[in-house]
């Protein structure tokens, strides 16, 4: 490498380094967001699936339908909101936004 030809090579390498750094930062941000979404979904699922061992009725025959109704009534009285059970709690993938995109441009040196 000659002294006069060295500057374009260094600029090109630096430009590639900056582009890679920006891409890695974007990937890290997306990975952290995905991990947070998955963790939240797992926690909601665990909370929803926890069994409630409180006694509903003493004596007599208790059918499943009557038991469900008793639990719903008890939750309403306690002020708890009964969550709709979602079949798919996996994080959704958002499509790319339409419109203006941010493009990183490095200053020309």
Domain-located, residue 107: no
Q: Are 3 and 39 found together in one domain?
A: yes
Domain-located, residue 97: no
Domain extent, residue 68, equals 53-80
Q: Are 22 and 64 found together in one domain?
A: no
Cβ neighbors of 89 (< 8 A, separation 6 or more) are 41, 44, 45
Report the candidate in 80, 97, 93, 86 with the shortest Cα–Cα distance to residue 37.
93
Per-residue pLDDT, averaged over 72-94, amounts to 65
Q: Are 43 and 61 found together in one domain?
A: no
Domain-located, residue 57: yes
| Residue 83 token pair | 């969550």
On the question of pLDDT at 98 being above 70, the answer is no
Domain-located, residue 13: yes
Comparing 54 with 85, the larger pLDDT belongs to 54
Cβ neighbors of 56 (< 8 A, separation 6 or more) are 62, 67, 70, 71, 74
pTM of the model: 0.42
Q: pLDDT tens digit string along 38-60? A: 999 999 998 888 876 776 677 77
């Amino acid at each position: 490498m000659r002294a006069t030809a060295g500057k374009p090579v260094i600029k090109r390498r630096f430009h590639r380094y900056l582009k890679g750094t920006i891409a890695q930062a974007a990937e890290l941000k997306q990975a952290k967001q995905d991990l947070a979404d998955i963790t939240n979904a797992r926690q909601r699922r665990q909370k929803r699936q926890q069994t409630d061992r409180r006694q509903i009725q003493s004596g007599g025959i208790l059918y499943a339908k009557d038991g469900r109704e008793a639990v719903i009534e008890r939750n309403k009285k306690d002020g708890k909101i009964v969550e709709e059970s979602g079949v798919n709690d996996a994080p959704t993938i958002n499509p790319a936004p339409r419109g203006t995109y941010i493009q990183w441009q490095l200053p020309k040196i």
